[in-house]
Structures are given as structure tokens and as C-alpha cells.
């Protein structure tokens, strides 16, 4: 039983009935969904989690804030990209046939409704429920005398010394404001000491100060009481303009284009070019203006004019313009009953008492499913390699690792111990560029050889190769994963890790590192699929093989678990497989440009999206293959950028027991009724609802119980 939820539905052409036509044109734009509009649909599914009564209250708040963070990046990158296409007259129209101007109009319409709904959920549902549990954001009008005194003291001692009021006049033009910074536009009356009476000023909030503070318990009546920096500045803005009357003070925030553009023809050092670009990210072209909904129209018009934005790019909000700063409440609150229960990731039986990981991996492949199984064995493998005198070389790709990475610590130790350490660092991992520049420098200073990959092709593969002298033989060990070498993400994202000593697979990994670090013709791989060379072609061949089986009257089935599906060639291949009768199950967490359920085109295709406690990040490609199943784990989603413009890998799972294990886990996802959304032919998603006679199946909870022994959280009363 499913329940349709068309809130913020993406406008879409009605699906044609192909049965009336002698042949189906798979290039028909009606069969494709615009990728940015699909991304907004995903963000709406995240927002819906804030209303899920089965989710602990503080986690619901977290989903609401993740919605804000996702939307920020959407405007900074995707909307900025569409605006740039218009500005430079280089419009790109995808298979859906929607030009950038139309897409921007539809994005504006949907985003305005989503944001209004977000603040409604915050003000009408979450804040009142938090209040019932003693967690309060205390508004100015509710401050007690003691709280007012504390706020005034805090303002005068901590805030005012950091403030730089900017009066607007011919000698003080409108300031260049940092991307996503909190600011205030202030209406003034009176004449200052220099005789100026422009009537307007800008107050940038100090970026070094927290946006939310907890009030001392002794001036409150129990519970946790917080006050916003914006409220503190509002209450005391008049102190920043002595002798002037503050007639109005209104918060606003500007979102800018944050994408980095580096011209490969004018670049001789990627690291140096990237450092130059990072400073400009904070001051890119304006793409969105958020203002308090009580800001007078003349002031919002004035701001729009200053930033060169249209009315459709204005977002008036009923609350703080910088909602992501409320993460402080989630991290500081001591209310375990309002949060997901903690868990300890499992250690596989083969590794539990192992003192020598090389000995274990030398005998058998080890598969880890994060976060249910620990990421520690991967870290321990690098640590052991760093200390082991028999280890000669360590080669590894790094895309996202985190600021304080245990993996990098071990690699530094290995390099200082005199081992050959070769690291391919992807400097262009979005929003991690600065961190990656820093870790690259640290590794170089330790003696590691650091390579920045290939110009114009991001290195997104997750690979590690260790070479060890064992007697007269050089033995290789590899780690291949679907996720990054980031211990923090391994607690929040679902990903697979394969630890192996398979000689052919390790040889393929060695060849790939050789291609990345050196120069030469394409090296033939035995087992590894790799983009931008063989991965896409192999996927198309695997889909075609399943199509052939169906045409021969054999049972045929494809299951793909990925984060996004936008590549038109892959979609057309799936449509052809559907026409032949192949059953196709797609688990696509985010963007999906394929329309399922269209008669004659995609009636055998089912698309589902799982949104839950953990971010579904693993990529699995499974093909029935007439009883001789094929299975690959991969670093790549089915997007043009992954398959055509990145270094990605897909690696086979050949061990029968491991394949069966992953297949059973896929079945759990396909039977989930608690966290699953289903995509319909019109481009809208509806949440699956279990029938009254059965309890909902929650795949993430089932995996927690299986691996960690953790039961379902009980809603707080």
C-alpha cells in the first residue's frame, strides 16, 4: 500500500502511452526527468524526515538542518551553474528538453514552497516539541530581567568589540559580503558626528562568534535554554550607532556561486592554482538572497538591486536565516532519549583476534559493511603496514579523509620509516579542497610522493595497495571501497570495503596506480572495471547481456544500488532491457532522471529511494546472468561525470558466500517499508506505507540488529 505525497511536486510532462505507436523513441524528452528538479525532490524527502514520528526528536531537527545544508550547496553549485549558462550564452539542454531559464523558474517555484514548509515545520512542530522536553530557543520578548542583563553583558564584552558597522554613503559603498555570512540591514534616523544622514547601514555579524549560545542555568528555570546571536545583535543594535535612532534591524544572508573554475590551459601547478581560486569562492556571483520576512519591501528591493538579483531569487523566512547553525543544539543537548541510540560497529569473526591482518587477508577476502561493521580494520591495516619492516610500498587514493585522519597519520609514519609511500590526492574534492591541500603538504613533508591525479579528470576511486616482501616473493594486498577513507563518514554512511590479496585484482590496482602516476597507453585489466575507459562500456554490455537473456525467454533481473542515475546512455539501455522483459530494481538515493512505470517503456522498472539514519552511499551492480550472477561493488554512480570524466572503479565480488551475503542485504532494501520512497512516472515520489496487519520493515534497523544487536529506538513521550 502506498500513499502519494505530491508536496513540492516537480512539473513534468504526462507519460505517453507507447502502445499506440509502432515503435518507441527512447530519446523522447517525456521519458526523462530534469536532474536539478530531481535533486530538489531528494531534498524534499530529507525534509519529510523532520515529520517522521518514529524518528527521535533531535534527529528530526537534524534532518531539517541537513535540508538547509543541502539546499545551500544546491544553490551554490547547481543553480549557479544554470545562471552561468545563461550569462555566457552557453545553454546546455539535457535529454529532458528543459532549457536553463525554464529550469530556474521551476526551481524557484519549488524551492520557495519547500523553504516556507521548512520554517513551518520548525516553528509549528519541532520548536514546540523541543520546548516540551525542556529545550528552548528563548526569544527576545521572553527574556527575563536576569537574562536581559546577561545578554547585555555578553554583547558589550564579546560581540560589540568584534562588530564593524558600515554606514552607507558615497565614501562607504555597499560592502562585499562573504558567501552565506549573517548580516543585518539597519534603518537609521538622525545625523552623525560628520553630518551624514544616509539612513542605512550594514552590520556583518562577527564570523568568529558562535551563532547560538546556551544561557547559564542559574538565570533560567530548568532545561536547556539557548539564545541566538542574531537576537543579541537585534536587541543592542542601537549601541552600535550612538546618538542615532535605529528604526529597524533586519537579518539577511547572501548565497554566492561557490564552484571553482580552473583553466587547464593556463595552469602549470594545480595546487597553486587551486589556492588562488579558494579565496575567490567566498565572493562569487550572487544566486540567492534570504531575508527576515518582516523586512520592509523598500529594503528588500534595495538589497536585490545591490546584488543584481531578481524578485524570484528572494526568499523571505520566518526565523533565523542561517538555520544550519542550529546544529549546535543537536550536538550540545544531553537528551539521549531524543537521539538515535549509540552502537558499537561489529568486527568480523575472522578479524576479532587477529594480530596479523596480512595473514588473515592472505587466506581469504574480508568484506566489511560500514557503519554496521567497523572501519577500524582498514585503519589498522595501514598502521600495521607502516610498522611492518617487510612492507616496501603503500599506494593510496585520498578523496575525502577529514581534518584529523588516522589514515594520514599512519601514512606519514610509513613515509618517515623509509617506505615508498605514493598518494594520489584529489585536490578538487568539492568543499574539501583546503583540507586536501593541507594533508598533501603534510604527506610531502614526511617524504611521501604526492600526485594530484589527472587534469580535468577527478580521481574518485577508493583504492589502497600494499606490497610486502614474504620470503622470495613480493605479495600484494589491496583495499577497494565504495566510500572515502574518512573514519567519521564511515560511522554515518553505508559503504562496503573489500580487503583482498587476489593476485589478479591486486595487479589491476597496481596498473591503475601506474596510469595515474606515470604516462603511457591504456593498460588492460583482468578484473577491474575503471572509468573513464571501461566502466561505462562494461555496464552497457552487462545490461545488454541481461537483455539478450530476456529476449531468449530466460528469467532476467538487474538490481542497481547507487546514489544517482542521470546518464542518458545508461537510462536508454535500461529502457531497452525493460522492453525485452528484464525485471529492473533501482535503489537510487538521490537524483534519478529515469521515469519508471511508463507502459511500453519502463513498466518493469521500479525505482526506490531509502532515506534513514545513515546516508546510503554504497554502490552495487547485480545481474542475474541466467543463474551465473555477476556482482560488482563500485565507487561510481551512474552519472556522466562519474563514468566519463572521473577515475572510478568497479570491482567484482567473486566469492560465492560474499555474493550471497550482499544479495540478501539487497533483498532487505527491496523489502523495506519504513524508510523507502517510490518514484512514479510523473516524477513525484510517495512514501511506502506498510499495511495495518504488518509492522514496517526498516532495513537500516534490521542491519543494526544483525551486526550490532541494537533494537529500534523508542519515541520520547
CA 57/CA 421 separation, integer angstroms: 46
For the chain, give the longest Cα–Cα distance: 89
For residue 469, say whether it is annotated as part of any ligand binding site: no
For residue 70, say whether it is annotated as part of any ligand binding site: yes
SS3 368: strand
- Residue 684: closest CA among 231, 143, 172, 42: 42
Q: Cα 54 vs. chain centroid, distance in angstroms?
A: 23
For residue 617, say whether it is annotated as part of any ligand binding site: yes
Q: What is the pairing mode between strands 685-688 and 615-616?
A: unpaired
Measuring CA to CA, how many Å separate 83 from each of 72, 88, 101, 430, 542?
15, 9, 8, 19, 38
Grid look-up 551486526 returns 707
- Residue 563: closest CA among 39, 132, 12, 63: 39
* C-alpha dihedral, 494 to 495 to 496 to 499, nearest 10°: -120
CA 618/CA 701 separation, integer angstroms: 17
For residue 113, say whether it is annotated as part of any ligand binding site: no
Catalytic residue among 34, 460, 549, 604: 460
- Residue 565: closest CA among 642, 506, 486, 628: 642
- Residue 573: closest CA among 538, 529, 610: 538
Q: What is the pairing mode between strands 646-652 and 529-531?
A: antiparallel
CA 661/CA 348 separation, integer angstroms: 13
Q: What is the pairing mode between strands 619-623 and 557-562?
A: antiparallel
For residue 589, say whether it is annotated as part of any ligand binding site: yes
Residues 655, 365 contacting (CB under 8 angstroms): yes
DSSP character for 650?
A: E
To the query of whether residue 460 is one of the catalytic residues in this protein, the response is yes
Measuring CA to CA, how many Å separate 611 from each of 43, 330, 370, 496, 674?
10, 19, 16, 18, 9
Any alpha helices (H) in 649-716, and if so which ranges? 656-670, 699-708
Contacts of 421 (CB under 8 A, 6+ apart): 393, 394, 395, 411, 414, 415, 443, 446, 447, 448, 449
Count the alpha carbons within 13 Å of 461 in the hemisphere toward its beta carbon: 32
Grid look-up 549509540 returns 342
Residues 483, 498 contacting (CB under 8 angstroms): no
Q: What is the number of H-type helices and E-type strands within the chain? A: 21, 28
* Angle between helix 100-121 and 35-48 (nearest 10): 10
669-673 long-range contacts, CB within 8 A, separation 24+ = 669/561, 669/587, 669/608, 669/610, 669/699, 670/559, 670/585, 670/587, 670/608, 671/697, 671/699, 672/608, 672/610, 672/697, 672/698, 672/699, 673/697
Residues 47, 64 contacting (CB under 8 angstroms): yes
CA 140/CA 717 separation, integer angstroms: 29
For residue 484, say whether it is annotated as part of any ligand binding site: no
Residues 237, 199 contacting (CB under 8 angstroms): no
Binding site as annotated, residues for Mg(2+): 400, 430
Give the active site residues.
460
Binding site as annotated, residues: 70, 400, 430, 493, 589, 617
Binding site as annotated, residues for ATP: 70, 493, 589, 617
Amino acid at each position: 500500500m502506498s500513499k502519494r505525497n505530491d508536496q513540492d511536486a516537480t512539473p513534468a510532462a504526462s507519460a505517453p502511452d507507447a502502445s499506440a505507436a509502432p515503435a518507441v523513441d527512447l530519446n523522447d524528452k517525456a521519458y526523462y526527468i530534469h536532474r536539478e528538479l530531481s535533486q530538489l525532490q531528494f531534498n524534499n524527502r530529507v525534509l519529510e524526515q523532520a515529520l517522521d514520528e518514529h524518528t527521535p526528536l533531535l534527529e528530526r531537527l537534524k534532518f531539517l538542518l541537513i535540508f538547509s545544508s543541502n539546499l545551500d550547496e544546491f544553490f551554490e553549485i547547481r543553480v549557479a551553474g544554470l545562471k552561468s549558462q545563461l550569462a555566457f550564452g552557453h545553454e546546455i539542454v539535457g535529454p529532458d528538453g528543459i532549457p536553463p531559464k525554464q529550469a530556474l523558474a521551476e526551481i524557484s517555484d519549488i524551492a520557495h514552497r519547500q523553504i516556507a514548509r521548512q520554517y513551518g515545520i520548525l516553528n509549528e512542530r519541532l520548536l514546540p516539541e523541543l520546548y516540551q522536553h525542556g529545550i528552548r530557543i528563548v526569544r527576545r520578548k521572553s527574556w527575563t530581567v536576569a537574562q536581559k542583563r546577561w545578554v547585555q553583558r555578553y554583547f558589550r564584552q564579546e560581540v560589540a568589540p568584534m562588530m564593524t558597522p558600515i554606514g552607507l554613503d558615497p565614501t562607504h559603498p555597499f560592502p562585499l559580503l562573504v558567501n552565506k555570512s549573517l548580516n543585518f540591514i539597519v534603518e537609521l534616523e538622525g545625523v552623525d558626528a560628520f553630518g551624514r544622514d544616509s539612513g542605512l547601514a550594514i552590520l556583518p555579524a562577527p564570523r568568529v562568534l558562535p551563532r547560538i549560545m546556551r544561557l547559564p542555568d542559574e538565570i533560567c528555570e530548568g532545561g536547556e535554554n539557548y539564545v541566538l546571536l542574531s537576537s543579541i545583535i537585534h536587541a543592542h543594535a542601537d549601541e552600535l550607532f550612538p546618538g542615532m535612532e535605529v528604526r529597524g534591524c533586519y537579518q539577511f544572508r547572501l548565497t554566492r556561486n561557490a564552484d571553482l573554475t580552473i583553466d587547464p590551459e593556463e595552469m602549470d601547478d594545480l595546487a597553486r592554482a587551486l589556492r588562488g581560486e579558494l579565496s575567490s569562492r567566498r565572493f562569487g556571483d550572487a544566486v540567492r538572497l534570504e531575508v527576515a520576512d518582516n523586512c520592509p519591501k523598500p529594503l528588500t528591493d534595495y538589497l536585490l538591486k545591490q546584488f543584481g538579483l531578481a524578485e524570484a531569487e528572494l526568499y523571505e523566512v520566518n526565523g533565523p536565516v542561517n538555520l544550519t547553525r542550529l546544529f549546535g543544539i543537536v550536538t550540545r543537548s544531553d537528551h539521549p532519549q531524543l537521539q538515535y541510540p549509540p552502537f558499537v560497529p561489529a568486527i568480523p569473526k575472522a578479524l576479532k583476534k587477529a594480530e596479523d591482518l596480512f595473514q588473515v587477508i592472505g587466506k581469504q577476502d574480508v568484506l566489511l559493511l560500514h557503519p554496521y561493521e567497523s572501519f577500524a580494520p582498514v585503519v589498522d591495516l595501514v598502521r600495521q603496514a607502516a610498522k611492518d619492516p617487510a612492507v616496501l610500498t603503500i599506494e593510496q587514493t585520498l578523496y575525502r579523509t577529514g581534518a584529523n585522519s588516522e589514515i594520514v597519520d599512519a601514512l606519514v609514519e610509513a613515509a618517515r620509516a623509509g617506505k615508498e609511500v605514493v598518494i594520489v590526492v584529489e585536490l578538487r574534492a568539492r568543499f574539501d579542497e583546503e583540507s586536501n591541500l593541507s594533508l598533501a603538504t603534510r604527506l610531502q613533508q614526511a617524504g611521501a610522493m604526492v600526485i594530484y591525479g589527472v587534469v580535468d579528470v577527478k580521481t574518485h576511486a577508493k583504492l589502497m595497495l600494499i606490497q610486502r616482501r614474504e620470503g622470495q616473493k613480493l605479495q600484494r594486498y589491496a583495499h577497494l571501497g565504495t566510500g572515502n577513507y574518512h573514519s567519521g563518514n564511515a560511522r554515518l554512511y553505508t559503504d562496503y570495503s573489500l580487503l583482498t590479496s587476489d593476485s589478479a585484482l591486486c595487479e589491476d590496482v597496481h596498473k591503475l596506480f601506474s596510469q595515474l602516476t606515470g604516462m603511457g597507453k591504456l593498460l588492460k585489466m583482468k578484473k577491474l572495471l575503471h572509468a573513464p575507459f571501461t566502466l561505462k562500456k562494461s555496464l552497457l554490455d552487462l545490461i545488454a547481456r541481461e537483455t539478450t537473456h530476456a529476449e531468449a525467454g530466460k528469467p532476467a533481473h538487474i538490481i542497481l544500488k547507487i546514489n544517482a542515475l542521470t546518464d542518458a546512455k545508461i537510462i536508454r539501455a535500461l529502457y531497452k532491457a525493460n522492453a525485452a522483459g528484464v525485471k529492473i530494481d533501482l535503489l537510487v538515493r538521490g537524483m534519478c532522471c529515469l521515469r519508471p512505470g511508463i507502459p511500453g517503456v519502463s513498466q518493469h522498472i521500479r525505482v526506490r529511494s531509502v532515506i534513514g539514519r545513515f546516508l546510503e552511499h554504497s554502490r552495487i551492480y547485480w545481474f542475474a546472468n541466467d543463474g551465473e550472477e555477476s556482482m560488482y561493488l563500485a565507487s561510481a554512480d551512474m552519472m556522466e561525470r562519474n563514468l566519463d570524466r572521473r577515475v572510478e572503479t568497479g570491482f567484482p565480488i567473486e566469492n560465492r558466500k560474499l555474493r550471497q551475503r550482499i544479495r540478501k542485504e539487497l533483498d532487505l532494501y527491496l523489502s523495506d517499508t519504513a524508510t523507502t520512497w517510490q518514484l512514479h512516472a510523473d516524477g513525484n515520489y510517495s512514501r511506502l506505507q506498510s499495511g495495518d496487519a504488518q509492522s514496517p520493515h526498516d532495513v537500516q534497523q534490521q542491519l543494526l540488529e544483525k551486526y550490532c544487536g541494537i533494537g529500534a529506538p523508542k519515541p520520547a513521550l
